[in-house]
């Protein structure tokens, strides 16, 4: 049974460039409410969240939003966001800081942990308070072990995986108070500047859930999806990934196939560098034809594959691409 923490539960309010709250943030607000009074940290260029965002935050029971102005520093950079968040944590005297467990946020969590001396748990899948300690659940060793980690410091920094909690508003909305805070960002957080950024053209590939052909990459890609994208484009297919690949930030989370991702049932599934773990299979094993490319002949994916190629994907996929191009003249 969870007992409330003493200080506020501060939630990092992840938002897109247009100020829209990212859906996993609502999951954090739901998880946070079970622990205590929920505050939000809005880290931007000093501009307030728009009325739409504030309404959603009130609907999800947020009492106070701390609007952080990082001045001329770039709020998109993790060291800058970490400085801003550290200042809010200290001012709000928060007991818990919750972040969505994304690639960037895990780095922010670590930086805040170092700055505040807090215990940090990333990739958590649940949390509760037991004997005045925040206890986070997380799986380790590719999901083969469940652990529970008790944080021993007054502040617990927890990065919760998307999908761990069902987002649900409370019965009664709150009136959100805005507290503005200017933060002077340390020189150490400014060592890197974004010199230029260009939005990538929208994908012309079919929707992953509906595609007839899906080409999937796992840890074996080591982060390089270029060949798989080329193969998918040749076949008019979509690109998917295992959770390892999305957790590593190699590809967006919307590409994840499996128990905690998208379920696909394409006519053709090609998995490269994918072991075929049970959580992944749950989202793809009803595919029509399964082709597996894996350097380990013992990889479990071969148990369900219609065609298996034992080999290095960086050798096999270029040959496949070349042969497809040759056949098509």
Question: Judged by CB under 6 A, which stretch of 25-33, 64-72, 147-155, 279-287 contacts ligand FAD?
Answer: 279-287
Window 217-236: residues binding ligand FAD (CB under 6 A): 218-220
DSSP label at residue 70: -
102 scored as a contact of ligand FAD (CB under 6 A) = no
DSSP label at residue 235: H
Q: Do the beta carbons of residue 262 and residue 256 sit within 8 Å?
A: yes
243 scored as a contact of ligand FAD (CB under 6 A) = yes
Q: Do the beta carbons of residue 129 and residue 2 sit within 8 Å?
A: yes
30, HSE (Cβ side, Cα atoms, 13 Å): 16
Phi-psi region of 248 (alpha: psi -120 to 50; beta: other; left: phi over 0): alpha
263 scored as a contact of ligand FAD (CB under 6 A) = no
- Output 111 or 243, the one with its CB closest to ligand FAD: 243
Q: How many CB atoms lie within 10 A of CB 297?
A: 9
320 scored as a contact of ligand FAD (CB under 6 A) = no
105 scored as a contact of ligand FAD (CB under 6 A) = no
Strand partners, 128: 135
* Of the candidate residues 97, 242, 291, 292, the single one contacting ligand FAD (CB under 6 A): 242
Q: Do the beta carbons of residue 227 and residue 317 sit within 8 Å?
A: yes
Q: How far apart are CA 161 and CA 80, in angstroms?
A: 22
Q: How far apart are CA 22 and CA 143, in angstroms?
A: 26
275 scored as a contact of ligand FAD (CB under 6 A) = yes
> Residues touching ligand FAD: how many (CB under 6 A)?
31
Q: Where does residue 126 rank: exposed (0-12), middle (13-18), buried (19+ CB within 10 A)?
A: middle
Alpha-helical regions (H) of 117-217:
none
Residue whose C-beta lies closest to ligand FAD? 258
Min dist CB 251 to ligand FAD, Å, is 11
280 scored as a contact of ligand FAD (CB under 6 A) = yes
Min dist CB 144 to ligand FAD, Å, is 8
Min dist CB 208 to ligand FAD, Å, is 13
- Output 258 or 308, the one with its CB closest to ligand FAD: 258
* Of the candidate residues 28, 189, 244, 255, the single one contacting ligand FAD (CB under 6 A): 244
Q: Do the beta carbons of residue 161 and residue 101 sit within 8 Å?
A: yes
139 scored as a contact of ligand FAD (CB under 6 A) = yes
Binding site for ligand FAD (CB under 6 A): 139, 142-143, 218-220, 242-245, 256-261, 273-275, 277, 279-280, 283, 293-296, 299, 312-314
């Amino acid at each position: 049974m969870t007992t409330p923490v003493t200080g506020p539960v501060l939630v990092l309010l992840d938002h897109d460039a247009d100020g829209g709250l990212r859906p996993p943030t609502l999951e954090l607000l739901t998880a946070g409410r079970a622990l205590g009074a929920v505050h939000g940290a809005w880290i931007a260029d000093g501009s307030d969240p728009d009325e739409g965002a504030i309404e959603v935050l009130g609907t999800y029971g947020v009492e106070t939003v701390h609007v952080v102005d990082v001045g001329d520093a770039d709020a998109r950079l993790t060291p800058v966001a970490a400085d801003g968040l550290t200042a809010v944590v200290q001012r709000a005297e928060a007991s818990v800081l919750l972040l969505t467990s994304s690639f960037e946020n895990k780095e922010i969590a670590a930086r805040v942990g170092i700055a505040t001396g807090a215990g940090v748990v990333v990739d958590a899948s649940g949390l509760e308070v037991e004997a005045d300690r925040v206890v986070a659940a997380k799986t380790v060793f590719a999901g083969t072990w469940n652990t529970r980690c008790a944080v021993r410091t007054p502040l617990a920094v927890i990065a919760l995986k998307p999908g761990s909690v069902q987002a649900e508003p409370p019965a009664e909305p709150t009136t959100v108070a805005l507290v503005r805070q200017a933060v002077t960002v340390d020189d150490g957080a400014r060592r890197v500047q974004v010199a230029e950024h260009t939005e990538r053209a929208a994908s012309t590939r079919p929707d992953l859930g509906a595609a007839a052909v899906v080409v999937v990459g796992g840890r074996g890609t080591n982060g390089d999806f270029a060949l798989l994208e080329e193969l998918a484009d040749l076949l008019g297919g979509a690109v998917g990934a295992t959770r390892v690949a999305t957790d590593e930030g190699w590809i967006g989370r919307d590409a994840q196939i499996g128990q905690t991702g998208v379920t696909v049932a394409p006519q053709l599934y090609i998995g490269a560098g994918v072991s075929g773990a049970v959580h992944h299979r749950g989202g793809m094993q009803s595919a029509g034809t399964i082709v597996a490319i894996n350097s380990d002949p013992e990889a479990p994916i071969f148990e369900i594959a219609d065609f298996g190629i034992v080999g290095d994907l960086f050798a096999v996929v270029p040959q496949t691409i070349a042969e497809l191009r040759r056949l098509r003249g």
